Amino acid sequence: MGGEKVGLTADGDTFKLDGKDFRILSGAIHYFRIPKQSWKHRLQSVVDCGLNTIDVYIPWNLHEKERGNFDFAGELDLVEFFTIAAEMGLKVLCRPGPYICSEWDWGGLPSWLLKDPKMHIRSNYCGYQAAVSSYFSKLLPLLAPLQHSNGGPIIAFQVENEYGDYVDKDNEHLPWLADLMKSHGLFELFFISDGGHTIRKANMLKVRSTAQLNSGSFQLLAKAFSLKSLQPNKPMLVTEFWAGWFDYWGHGRNLLNNEVFEKTLKEILKRGASVNFYMFHGGTNFGFMNGAIELEKGYYTADVTSYDYDCPVDESGNRTEKWEIIRRCLNVQKTSSENVYKNEAEPYGEFEAEKMVKLCEIGISKEFDEPTNMENLDQAFGYTSYSVFIAQPEQEPVKNEKEEKIEDIEDEPISPVFFKNLLKSIREKRSFLVEFLIENPGRVNFSNLKDQRMGMISAPKLVGASYTSSWNICCYPLDKNQISSITAWTNYLQTAAVLPALFKTTVKILDYPKDTFILMHGWSKGVIFVNGRNLGRYWVTKGPQKTLYLPASWLIKGENEIIWLEEEQLGMSIELVSSPDLG
């Protein structure tokens, strides 16, 4: 197993790598949140800051979007990403899940698991074990040759993720998962990671426990270091030193004070601990992949598209004051190449909407006796419409189980409301055609992960009325195939537009493309597609995020097609600007 290489060990007050003292100085960076063409650029910022390791999650729901169809190529070529890191002298803390949290849709779990009505995730339920075993049988053989003792960069593996915070723990699950990992040839150091409030109850394995903490809590810092009493004569690793925090729609930015960040970092280093900055570079929740949380505010909030996270390296790859603080605390000297790694964004200007098509004109509908959720329709993301005729109510309005009203409005569309059904009631003789347009705004990714089926699970209960037809269901996954197959485009006339609808414009670039940021003038809420790829959601009227980061590698020299779905409000143009506005 690699001659003298004996891997990372955790005996004594310091980690040792091949028998020599090794302090882990790591930054979390995710290949799946960064355009592949920018991988080296972002990793160079890790090296120049004086870190020696990167921390990497692996999202199951990207690598197995459909059950049994695995993808580890192109933008998802994690072997290439790890190889580049190794060539740059970096080690890797690998966190293969299968659950990863990470403000990612359902914590990285694939939505097709929900087709099983008895599914019990993160447990030894046989259906879940079978799915994990199948996925790991493809993933782990890719990782095994990359272990340090085999000449690769991976020095440790995390078993699952933050299991101490899970509300429905199975005490036998982590041991089963660790054994599964070992059966596929993983033998480097195993560890678990939990917040300071759950450390004492989290370790169901006899593996290395590590702690998480934020920049502003010295009380939590004390709890994290209390782990030393549980694991005497073991080195400390802060697996997630939160350099910032994520943002969610409808609230202000979550910025963390740089002075407190520096003070906390100095205390960690003073105590001799190893540290991983989460995140060091956050990147972007491209497409529909953002997660959501209920614990943060006590109610459901969906995360924004940007995963800037107030990081040492910002969303577009530029180094911030926190990056300077880390380097200063580590006594790292400046390098002559630093200006080379500054990203310059281009303000390409304003572009009017040219074409339009109503959303209802791009889908293919099917008839069902009863409504069913998205996952049962083999749809993971996007929107689904449900249409049905009901007998005209005589007195009371129709209500569903969540008491969302269907107003008696004649020939007037109701504006979409986020997280609720988008309703349209059309009077026709003595009955109504009622249409529900339901979005998957992001599945919850932390703590309570139950009830994450999207769409309509069952028919709403009616008061004073009855259903008089079957259900017409139309799926709008808005994937690359559906977007590229649109043919019903017409010229955009603001007075003729009916929402929700898709709009299109062309951006002509005469030179080699540069990064830019899209600002939606006069529009409200929707999704943007650039040259057929889903850039992510915008919600200008709620914020905090106002612009979407558009990487240069998504653009071409020549004509670029930008399409967007708008739900709520008509504008006239979009603008490509040179700086972000995240709130």
Structural domains in the chain, sorted by start: 24-341 (3.20.20.80), 349-356+486-577 (2.60.120.260), 363-476 (2.60.120.260)
Q: DSSP secondary-structure letter at 284? A: B
Evaluated on CA atoms 36, 42, 46, 47, the torsion sign reads positive
How distant, in Å, are the alpha carbons of 40, 43, 279 from that of 37?
7, 12, 20
Tokens of 64: 């197995």
Is there a contact between 290 and 303 (Cβ–Cβ < 8 Å)? yes
- Asked whether the whole model's pTM tops 0.85, one would answer yes
* Digitized pLDDT (tens) for each residue of the chain, 583 residues in all: 344 678 999 988 899 999 999 999 999 999 999 999 999 999 999 999 999 999 999 999 999 999 999 999 999 999 999 999 999 999 999 999 999 999 999 999 999 999 999 999 999 999 999 999 999 999 999 999 999 999 999 999 999 999 988 888 999 999 999 999 999 999 999 999 876 555 444 454 545 555 565 555 544 555 555 556 667 778 889 899 998 999 999 999 999 999 999 999 999 999 899 999 999 999 999 999 999 999 888 899 999 999 999 999 999 999 999 999 999 999 998 765 565 567 889 999 999 999 999 999 999 899 999 999 999 999 999 999 999 999 865 544 544 444 343 333 333 333 333 333 333 343 444 678 899 999 999 999 999 999 999 999 999 988 888 999 999 999 999 999 999 999 999 999 988 889 999 999 999 999 999 999 999 999 999 999 999 999 999 999 999 999 999 999 999 999 999 999 999 999 999 999 999 999 9
Sign of CA dihedral 112, 118, 122, 124: negative
Q: Strand pairing of 25-29 and 547-550?
A: unpaired
Catalytic residue, chosen from 64, 103, 160, 162, is 162
Q: Is 172 a catalytic residue?
A: no
Which residue among the candidates 64, 160, 188, 240 is catalytic per the annotation?
Answer: 240
What is the phi-psi region of residue 167: left when phi exceeds 0, alpha when psi lies from -120 to 50, beta otherwise?
A: alpha
Q: Going along 126-227, which residue ranges are E strands?
A: 154-158, 189-195, 208-214
Tell me the per-residue pLDDT of 174-218, one tens digit each, with 9 for 90 and over.
Answer: 999 999 999 999 999 999 987 655 544 445 454 555 556 555 554
Query: What is the per-residue pLDDT across 77-126, written as a single tens digit (0 to 9) for each?
Result: 999 999 999 999 999 999 999 999 999 999 999 999 999 999 999 999 99
383 touches 398 (CB < 8 A)? no
| Cα 398 from Cα 391, distance rounded (Å) | 10
- Yes or no: say if 281 and 45 are a contact pair by the CB < 8 Å rule: yes
Nearest of 177, 167, 229, 242 to residue 198 by alpha carbon = 167
Active site residue 394: no
User: Which sign, positive or negative, has the C-alpha torsion 114, 120, 126, 130?
Assistant: positive
Cβ neighbours of residue 13 closer than 8 Å, sequence gap 6 or more: 233, 234, 235, 272
Closest residue by Cα to residue 534 from 483, 579, 476, 572: 483
In angstroms, how far is CA 445 from the centroid of its own chain?
9
Q: What is the largest CA-CA distance in the chain?
A: 84
